[in-house]
Amino acid sequence: MRYYSWKAELLRVAIPLLVVAAGCALFDLGLLPLLAAALLACAWLLRHLQRLSDWLYNGAKSDPPEAAGMWGQVFDVIYDMQRESSQDNDRLQAMIDYLHASFASMSDAVVMLDPYGNIEWCNASAHDLLGLREEDDKGRQLVNLLRSPAFLRYFEAERYQAPLEMVSPVNGLINLSISVSFFGKRNRLLFARDVTRTHRLEQMRKDFVANVSHELRTPLTVINGYLETFSEHGGANPRWDRAVDQMLQQSRRMNLLIHDLMMLSRLESVPKLADESVIQLRPLMEMIREESGTAAKGKRRIEIDCDDKIAINGNANELRSAFSNLAVNAARYTAENDRIILRWYQDDYHAYFEVEDTGIGIEPQYIPRLTERFYRVDQSRSLDTGGTGLGLAIVKHVLIRHRAELRIRSAPNQGSVFTCVFPKSAAVQVSGKE
């Protein structure tokens, strides 16, 4: 495109005026023809301005008006800009349509929310899984449509790191996994996935473990009973004594395993905490000290550091089992005469039950997996110490039920600190201990 500068445009207007001015001077016609020529030039400029204005007013959708010189250039540049921006818009729209089409075809429910939690868009699966329909619910607050208390708590707390599992509000037989993420200016994107199949399989696994453990208990009690009798009174043949002792040891181990498996199954199958009471920590810690003192070979120095001004509200059996698992582990994974401290204290936000030891410690890469069932850092050593591999899994489940969490700090050969962090609401002030 040729570029026109203002000078060329000036010449185009000035030359006719100069010719008219020269004619006026030559033929002595006065200033009237020159004035008329100047008016004509102004009218020409105004006409182009009017054409530009009309064209823009109509959205510059049609081809630009024909014009020569700088005016033609203005029309063409605006037209090109307009065309580029409309191509950009088309590309963006195509991308949005593509994303909408792919979200719309998903079997997961997808809901887009504005920064105030109003529904902007949702796909067809949102109707099947959540009962939402774009035509009816667009612009409405999501929390007014999904009223389950668990969902309201999850949605409003804005802690979306882990998904929420809940039953579909449309069909009680469908289990959903809900996840939410922020995008743009605090807009939110909600995904709901049907996890009924996984849920059912998980339930079958839990039932299977619970049933097998239960069924194994009776025959094992009988075997255990006979082995104990043999061991106490001696068999007919002394050559069998060692074998009987080993069988007895293994059957006791199996008993422990079954006990732990049944405890885990119970914790999983009854999601709500029952039989809550206020528990004094000092007597509990003394009992745990006794238990863990006998769990390991050799003597340990177990100290108690307990804030007697606070007690804990929870299920006594479950808490005893969790705390005792931590203390027994500390005794198992420390050497003779090592020091173990059991602590109970609070700060402004939480209450803490803590077990610190100066034992073998754990390499950092193993720490995140410790609460998995049967996970052991060192198989041979754990079997040696008589553990079932389920202790920390039980601790984790008990703490979840008490809205608490387990924190682990450890360094190889320096020892470990296992801390149960309870919400402040679990700590009960004990009167008369100010």
Reduced to 3 states (helix: H, G, I; strand: E, B; else coil), residue 235 is coil
Q: Whose Cβ is closer to ligand ADP: residue 118's or residue 385's? A: 385
Q: Whose Cβ is closer to ligand ADP: residue 171's or residue 385's? A: 385
Spatial strand order of the sheet with 427-429 comes to 276-279, 310-315, 427-429
Q: Whose Cβ is closer to ligand ADP: residue 123's or residue 382's? A: 382
Question: Is 190 within 8 Å of 142 (Cβ atoms)?
Answer: yes
Any idea what the Cα angle at residue 308 is, between residues 307 and 311, rounded to 5°?
95
Q: Residue 113 is which amino acid?
A: L
Task: Point out which residues bind ligand ADP (CB under 6 A).
Answer: 325, 329-330, 333, 357, 359-362, 370, 375-378, 382, 387-393, 416
Q: Whose Cβ is closer to ligand ADP: residue 154's or residue 333's? A: 333
How far apart are CB 347 and ligand ADP at their closest, in Å? Answer: 23
Q: Tell me the C-alpha distance between 332 and 11, whole Å.
A: 101
Q: Whose Cβ is closer to ligand ADP: residue 126's or residue 296's? A: 296
How far apart are CB 367 and ligand ADP at their closest, in Å? Answer: 9
How far apart are CB 98 and ligand ADP at their closest, in Å? Answer: 49
Q: Whose Cβ is closer to ligand ADP: residue 67's or residue 304's? A: 304
Output the six-digit token pair for 102: 């792919």
CA distances for 401 relative to 164, 263, 397, angstroms: 16, 13, 6
Q: Whose Cβ is closer to ligand ADP: residue 97's or residue 378's? A: 378
How far apart are CB 259 and ligand ADP at their closest, in Å? Answer: 12
Question: Is 353 within 8 Å of 426 (Cβ atoms)?
Answer: no
Q: Where are the beta strands (DSSP E) in 329-394?
A: 339-346, 350-357
What is residue 211's DSSP assignment?
H
How far apart are CB 332 and ligand ADP at their closest, in Å? Answer: 6
How far apart are CB 342 and ligand ADP at their closest, in Å? Answer: 12
* Chain centre to alpha carbon of residue 372: 19
How far apart are CB 189 and ligand ADP at their closest, in Å? Answer: 38
- Nearest-CB residue for ligand ADP: 387
Reduced to 3 states (helix: H, G, I; strand: E, B; else coil), residue 187 is strand
